[in-house]
Structure 1
């Protein structure tokens, strides 16, 4: 008898499936070779974060003796075992792909060499490089009774070195030392070309250090040298209510992150058993150790593929974002926005429009106030500079800086201090809630009245990621949206009674209930025998209540199409529950990041853009925003984008009832939605 499928897919197991889709992009021989190399790096970076946050949290639950099952039926211990098994299999597949990619690189004249493959001239060159550049920054760390085991930093590469001496009996335990591979130096070391050869050759920095390891330990003989790498728990544990200064409290937690509990140990294949035993004992690691058959931490390949000069034929064709045509020849953006709303689609359209909007507001004498949320900002942000200039010019500038944006905390602290120094009113959000909404409000004096101009986005105010992520941004002067924007900032920065939102849906107060109401409306249409259709695009779907609400709508006959790039805990195609639900995931050149919701509404179609994924944290523990698009032209454009996603048969993968994904294949001509989206300017004419 066939065992019935469970109704939900586990969130962490679903994430493993997502990272496998990333690995499949590295396998895709139809993509340019150096782009495949980048996907190998992305997979490694993804896995690092997964281990340091999600797996670390599961291990904490196990240590605390927590045995309750989650809504997908897993206890922490059972889930941990399943994750480790799948992760090990995925990493083994990753290094198989890595070796295949290396062979393809070699065919193109890009070679990673073992040191013993170099000729005499090349060997002398790398030896000179070691003596002049590498040796001065190395610090050997012996481990013995007088020198305790050193603090190992998370995600840094180290070499374990076993040493012997002539006067020490062989049955005695060997000496052990640790050498950090300096991350300040690039991991891939160029090697001078051979005579009459056009090949571009490299060696790895750790191999060069191993070659010269005896220079660090005079009088000892080397028994074994192997690389290893530690991943620590990187989740911040904050007592926000008890913190007198949230900024200082987060700075302390960032420092504590350096010595968070060990979560994973990776080590090079063939490491000496004694060295491995010492590492396991000193780090108090149990089973979560992983032998790697190849270089540890392939994330270095991102810098390698991006910085390698030439070889443009091995990369995607370079495409420059176009400046939005609505603003292209305008004397000022406010004149345009008084006449019409403008929708910008990144990365095909330039983020410079957002920079210009804030910069123009900063320099406009009629602008009285600028209010903005900042979650993840780039290292050299024109927005921060414009906000500082606005404050120095005497405007009221309020900036909600989210200090708890994971792994961007230090950068955001620096921005917060710079903005405060310039005279901005900097707010760190509400206790217990991350401010994840992406919104800018400009208040301008015009003809004895005040007018509000608003930008609402699905992505961060980050000009770097705006070149790599697909996101929507809406510019509008619609009075209802402006009033809601003012109310939102008042709730974040001051005391305010609950507000009756006219246009917005705002988490954690009413966004989930508003979405439930929109889904129920489609359900009512279906039960009345009318067309009913929902399309929702997001990064992740894991909230059980939301999934159950979608199941209800499916059972009532609503056609539901979900475009979920990453984690999806909903299981489509389950008889009697989700036959009317289809789920696809698109992993391609750009990171699909936009959150867009479509509701047929009996033919009176509605479109919303949002900052929120349908995850419990977004709906209950963050300040999130969902905003309607009122302009029929812009709604049509966004529906076209969703339609392109749904008919993608090149990079779309469909979620099966089993929880696995398979590439969408059909008899239609090849349609790659991201490539078709380049034609966005045509839709706007």
Structure 2
């Protein structure tokens, strides 16, 4: 009898948002992993909170908007907005409970190592005196008590800021009379944790939390009143921008206006400290017009994101951290006097953070100062706060070079920084372009045009990650330097399309979204499908961040049904359901969450024994394939192709941090019988020869893993 258990459309796909929750749970598992250094576990605990903040303010906010608009249609995974919201909040509540259970465990372990969070009431007299002085000299002048009554309406509560809800009685009032209510913002400009002077003969680091210190001195803000209760609360608002690009005369001004409106976004989550006074809770519910499903009661300090700074700043505990990694400079470019001469002779592939981002910075800087360089064109999506690249581009423009920079103003939560960079570049004489209406410019590419003895030559850098020297130390990404003629021509055409009025180009090398990238991927998947049907070698490996586009999933299902082996390495969201008989039994999905954020996008197609490998800025998500300007670039050099295959193999061999997606939507640790422990990121750090040889000198091809 034919198996029909997965033939329902709603059963063939995993939901994107529920899949994301499972991803954040994998991050939480890193905080729970006893094999991870203790302060690194604290960082992962912080990342869980920051991830959840963005998820609530964007994804959950969007679902709530659909519910308010009365949408009842099911998505392709079988969920109505209301049904999905209910499931999300249930799973999120469970994850938050587990997160704070982990928090308490980590606090106990930190205390054993001498890093102690203590209560004000547990301090000795000397310590209390020091904390009292700190409060009166540093904290008190910054605080602003805000009463809420008939004459003073509820003040604006900023999204994701920490506040104290204070219930008060007037001296002489009876307990039957209605209490008074006020809020106090915990100042974000000061540290959430305060170092306490050490106790006699104890070599330990003691801290108290800012909100605890304020609570113990709350009387100083409300003289003549008796504090009844003081509890923390925190609101998350809808942070998704609604842009009217068509009618906006100035996109930069429109985004600035929307950023101001973000402060007034509708509340989508209310976090309150466990035990909050019922009167205070009712006041908050009335003000934010929020229902119980939006409320999280937290058994511990609100907003654990501050632990990231603590873990990085506390001194004398290097044994509780990962050993520092010093990225090596790519050996092909090391001690090269003429970078452009080197790139005329060979393409160079770099793998961050194992290889230094300085190579990218040097490429831009060399171009900026080289008198033979006529033009530099570059896309910027997310840039660091003190970017040498920005300074180099400004210097190039000031020296008379044609410098064109496509700045994406709509990069979520980086809008203000990108506006500042755009203005600085314009002041230096750069041509700044904000991309195309309705599309985010997400591709990562730099084009350098240079006058040489035999004419103009183009040099190109294409990457999978942002031009950000800070994240390049934390994310795994690959980049390609090349002077390949066809890639250079396509790069020029791409910039012409983005900055001017050019008809869609007939790309010779690139695949570009939203015009033809998805169709090119489909063609390559279908080619593998046909090869499998003809008995030829057929294999697909894709390393990416997210997979949620239904059409792409259906193409992969069809290829699997034809017998194509498909290995997916998807760090985050995956809507494809692997291992289903008759549908996806030839598909595996792995996720790796480890020290560095897996961010590179690499696509391998067996092509009947003549492999093709591409690097790209795009994941297989609908937004990447249809609503963004994205780029996929072929890697032509055979040695670089093998290097990327090696990178893929490292991930496929990981049996320490890899987790495999099951057909039920859950992830289980990868366990390879009789195989030695292999941790892909640590092996990538250990073997600087990943470009030419495989770990342990094992000559494997993708089919053998």
State the TM-score, normalized to the length of structure 1. Answer: 0.99
2:689 alignment partner, one of 655, 669, 682:
682
> Mapping of 1:81-480 within 5 angstroms?
81-286=86-291, 287-480=293-486
2:15 is aligned with 1:14: no
Question: Cα RMSD (Å) of the superposition?
Answer: 1.0
Instruction: Look up the SS of the partner of 1:327 in the other structure.
Output: coil
> How many Å apart are 1:680 and its aligned residue?
4.8
Asked whether the 8 Å contact 1:649–1:672 carries over to 2, the reply is yes
2:633 is aligned with 1:632: no
Cα distance in 2, alignment partners of residues 508 and 655 from structure 1? 29
Match in the other structure for 1:657: 663
Cα shift readout 1:187-232 (whole Å, capped 9, x = no counterpart): 0100000000011100000000000000100000011100000000
Cα distance in 2, alignment partners of residues 390 and 205 from structure 1? 47
Asked whether the 8 Å contact 1:562–1:584 carries over to 2, the reply is yes
Match in the other structure for 2:604: 598
> Mapping of 1:451-600 within 5 angstroms?
451-600=457-606
Cα shift readout 1:130-150 (whole Å, capped 9, x = no counterpart): 011000000000001110001
1:668 alignment partner, one of 658, 666, 675:
675
Deviates more, 1:164-173 or 1:259-268: 164-173
Asked whether the 8 Å contact 1:537–1:563 carries over to 2, the reply is yes
Cα distance in 1, alignment partners of residues 124 and 392 from structure 2? 55
> How many Å apart are 1:3 and its aligned residue?
8.8
Cα distance in 1, alignment partners of residues 98 and 686 from structure 2? 36
Instruction: Look up the SS of the partner of 1:413 in the other structure.
Output: helix
Asked whether the 8 Å contact 2:532–2:564 carries over to 1, the reply is yes
> How many Å apart are 1:681 and its aligned residue?
2.7
Cα distance in 2, alignment partners of residues 25 and 169 from structure 1? 52
Cα shift readout 1:56-104 (whole Å, capped 9, x = no counterpart): 0000000000111000000000000000000000000000000000111
> Number of residue pairs matched?
685
Instruction: Look up the SS of the partner of 1:41 in the other structure.
Output: helix
Instruction: Look up the SS of the partner of 2:620 in the other structure.
Output: coil
Instruction: Look up the SS of the partner of 2:496 in the other structure.
Output: helix
Instruction: Look up the SS of the partner of 1:230 in the other structure.
Output: strand
Match in the other structure for 1:613: 619
Instruction: Look up the SS of the partner of 1:176 in the other structure.
Output: strand
Asked whether the 8 Å contact 2:684–2:690 carries over to 1, the reply is no
Unaligned stretches of 5+ in structure 1? none
Cα distance in 1, alignment partners of residues 242 and 192 from structure 2? 33
Asked whether the 8 Å contact 2:642–2:691 carries over to 1, the reply is no
> How many Å apart are 1:665 and its aligned residue?
1.3
Instruction: Look up the SS of the partner of 1:638 in the other structure.
Output: helix
Cα shift readout 1:356-407 (whole Å, capped 9, x = no counterpart): 0011001111100000000000000000100000000000000000000000
Match in the other structure for 2:5: 4
Cα distance in 2, alignment partners of residues 333 and 254 from structure 1? 42
> How many Å apart are 1:531 and its aligned residue?
1.5
Cα distance in 1, alignment partners of residues 687 and 434 from structure 2? 37
Cα shift readout 1:145-180 (whole Å, capped 9, x = no counterpart): 110001000000000000001333322210000000
Unaligned stretches of 5+ in structure 2? 693-705
Match in the other structure for 1:29: 34
> How many Å apart are 1:448 and its aligned residue?
4.2
Asked whether the 8 Å contact 1:113–1:201 carries over to 2, the reply is yes
Instruction: Look up the SS of the partner of 1:344 in the other structure.
Output: strand
Asked whether the 8 Å contact 2:604–2:612 carries over to 1, the reply is yes
State the TM-score, normalized to the length of structure 2. Answer: 0.96
Asked whether the 8 Å contact 2:561–2:582 carries over to 1, the reply is yes
> How many Å apart are 1:601 and its aligned residue?
0.4
Asked whether the 8 Å contact 1:348–1:680 carries over to 2, the reply is no
